[in-house]
């Protein structure tokens, strides 16, 4: 059994990155009995840990959002290339043909 403080609560509140308090379901709080037995200081620590986890989740969500936007932009560029491929290839061929017909100074063949 873990060490308890004077209020019969765990003597240390898990850190914000502690998986024991990471919630992946609808249960977002420790059991009510735990909360009712905790001191004000322990509840304050629990609040700070929850706020830190929230900030971490928001940071991760922002990174995921930015990656989704970047992938959408990449898809847009690819779509544009698909829609304009023939015209781009035609321009490239004309440019290559023009370059081939003009010898640069110093290019003796």
- Are the beta carbons of 9 and 40 closer than 8 angstroms? no
pLDDT tens digit sequence for 10-46: 455 455 555 555 545 445 888 999 999 999 999 999 9
pLDDT tens digit sequence for 68-99: 999 999 999 999 999 999 999 999 999 888 87
CA 93/CA 80 separation, integer angstroms = 19
DSSP string of 49-109, one letter each residue: HHHHHHHHHHHHHHHHHHHHHHHHHHHHHHHHHHHHHHHHHHHHHHHHHHHHHSPPTT---
Tell me how many domains the chain contains: 1
Structural domain includes residue 9: no
| Residues facing residue 10 across a β-bridge | 4
Residue 9 pLDDT level (bands cut at 50, 70, 90): low
Please report the pLDDT score of residue 109 as a whole number. Answer: 54
Is residue 8 predicted with pLDDT exceeding 90? no
Domain with 52, as residue range(s), is 19-101
Structural domain includes residue 93: yes
């Amino acid at each position: 059994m873990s060490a308890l403080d004077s209020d019969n609560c765990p003597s240390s509140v898990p850190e914000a990155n502690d998986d024991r308090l990471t919630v992946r379901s609808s249960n977002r709080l420790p059991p009510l009995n735990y909360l009712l037995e905790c001191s004000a200081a322990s509840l304050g620590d629990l609040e700070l840990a929850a706020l830190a986890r929230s900030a971490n989740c928001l940071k991760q969500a922002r990174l995921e959002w930015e990656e989704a936007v970047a992938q959408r932009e990449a898809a847009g560029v690819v779509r544009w290339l698909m829609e304009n491929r023939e015209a781009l290839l035609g321009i490239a061929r004309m440019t290559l043909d023009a370059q081939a017909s003009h010898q640069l100074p110093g290019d003796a063949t």
